[in-house]
Structure 1
Amino acid sequence: LTWDMEAIQLMQNLLPRETVLFIADAKMSFDSFRSSMVATVNSKTIITVNPGKITLQHPHHQKEASEDPTGGFSQRNSITDVYTVNQLKERAKEQSEPLYGITYSFISKFDLDSSVSKVIKTRCSKCKFLVTEDMKSCTNQLCPGREQPLSTTTGFDLLVDFTDHTGTLQACSLRGLVAEQTLGCTTDEFITLTDDQRTSLKWKFLLGRCKIYIKILPSPRMKSGLRGMILACTLADPGEVKQHMTKLLQEL
């Protein structure tokens, strides 16, 4: 139980079945109404979201390192390690914590020219569950806002494969603001593009090597056991690619 507004706001932003909480100094007491013991959050309680991940210290609780609503890591300038695709996959499998890195790869699957409904999607703003705008409430049984009027966010929601000479990492998410920055347009602008313009935009990335900032997490639901989140993606400078790829080849 919690009556603390800050803690309530924190809980509302957590993802069901994906978030792990470590809670210290919660008051335990017997609740006669529930006929069981309950934990109550108070001013002394410390809540750690996803312990073991990069965290920011806070006097009341610790939040996971700042991410925008699309999953883009706000401190990507601190990511400097460069990997091949195979190195990303191998190192991510060796650790339980998220792996952050840069790869210079070709986007090998980028379905920008499919139907708009497959490129732009609407999600519940509370639990990120896929919904439609005509719904009155979220259909996710574990959504913290299920009993409230549906609040949604609509944005780019793509699955992207990227490939280099060592392999392919499949089904990496490219969403929201990160996708807008990558494509150079908003969802409203994208909707107005013709089929030929969407295809042209797609091939702009398929034909050029990209500099991709990536976050990789373990995911039992994925066939590969890994889930990739693209934090930034731009067409790479050829000189920069040559410099880093030469160094990587020397390390092999």
Structure 2
Amino acid sequence: SHSWDREAIQLVQTMIPKETVLFIADAKISFDSFRDGMTATVNSKTIITVNPDTREASLLFSYAKEVSESGALDQDEKPEDVPVDSITDVYTVSQLKQKAQENPEAFFGITYSFMSRLDIDSSVSKVIKTRCSRCKFLVTEDAQSCTNMLCSGRDQALLATTGFDLPVDITDHTGTLHACSLRSPVAENILGCTTNEFTSLNDNERTAMKWKFLLERCKIYVKITPSTKLRSGTRGVVLACSVADPGEVKQHMSALLQRL
């Protein structure tokens, strides 16, 4: 009702989520029984500074970005929600994106596509990562405890899991699904080696492994979860992938074209 409320609403609408730090002075803090927790309310005395030029703001921004990108804020993704062989729906990449926009629930599908990005010949630290088992935050292998401030076990000895963890792009004639997660144990099955074996491969062997997939049309099983935190609006997880049988591809492509 107050003109000030309108100003605050308009100010908030101009901000880019995950890219704005706010310094708020004189906000009213009270218990909200509907939300069952403490909430802050702004009034005419409140002063909001957008992206203050201070060291604290810079550190906060870096920390929040790291937490967001590490997947620590996501609900634990369980690729094994359904058995892969029970997934039968076939989609083009654009259909996967469209369904994610229309459908708030996670869903599963098959796409006959190319892996257009598979950076397994970059540094090992970008392919094999160590995460805190409790909160999924990225940690260094020699860390003694989790560095995520929000982790329930940050005061305890680190429990960590190390495995393949890399983004892959999936492309067909309708578009590209960027930065889908390819993680252990699925990655071991697809790449045909363990993380230890992978570490001992030389650059040429890694590049050869990469090209085994890059130019081939693959049958890729994916789990798609709508995500408000990602610009693309979708989070994809690769559940299985194999080089596709050409006859099967032709059959599904003609079926998809008839549906259009």
TM-score by length of 1: 0.71
Aligned to 1:214: 222
CA apart distance, 1:221: 2.0
The range that moved more, 72-81 or 210-219, is 72-81
Post-superposition CA distance 1:43-102 (Å, at most 9, x none): xxxxxxxxxxxxxxxxxxxxx9993xxx34451221110000000000111011002110
Aligned to 1:151: 159
CA apart distance, 1:181: 0.5
Matched residue type, 2:143: M
Aligned to 2:106: 98
Matched residue type, 1:224: S
Match of 1:109 among 106, 109, 117: 117
Structure 1 73/192 Cα, relative in aligned 2: closer, same or farther at 3 Å? Answer: farther
Deviant stretches of 4+, over 3 Å? 64-67, 71-74
Aligned residue runs from structure 1 range 76-225, under 5 A: 76-225=84-233
1:232 and 2:240 correspond: yes
CA apart distance, 1:233: 1.0
Q: Structure 2: 5+ residue runs without aligned partners?
A: 1-32, 37-74
CA apart distance, 1:201: 0.6
CA apart distance, 1:250: 1.0
Aligned to 1:23: none
Question: Is the contact made by 1:72 and 1:178 (CA closer than 8 Å) also made in structure 2?
Answer: no
Post-superposition CA distance 1:156-191 (Å, at most 9, x none): 001000100111000000001100001000000111
SS in 2 for 1:213: strand
Matched residue type, 1:121: K
Matched residue type, 1:85: V
CA apart distance, 1:120: 0.4
CA apart distance, 1:122: 0.4
Post-superposition CA distance 1:132-153 (Å, at most 9, x none): 1221111112212222210110
Structure 1 66/124 Cα, relative in aligned 2: closer, same or farther at 3 Å? Answer: closer
Aligned to 1:5: none
Structure 1 237/98 Cα, relative in aligned 2: closer, same or farther at 3 Å? Answer: same
Aligned pair count reads 188
The range that moved more, 214-223 or 112-121, is 214-223
SS in 1 for 2:209: helix
Percent identity of paired positions between Structure 1 and Structure 2: 65
Matched residue type, 1:232: A
Larger-gyration structure (1/2): 2
SS in 2 for 1:190: helix
Structure 1 223/209 Cα, relative in aligned 2: closer, same or farther at 3 Å? Answer: same
CA RMSD of aligned residues (A): 1.9
1: distance between equivalents of 2:81 and 2:210? 24
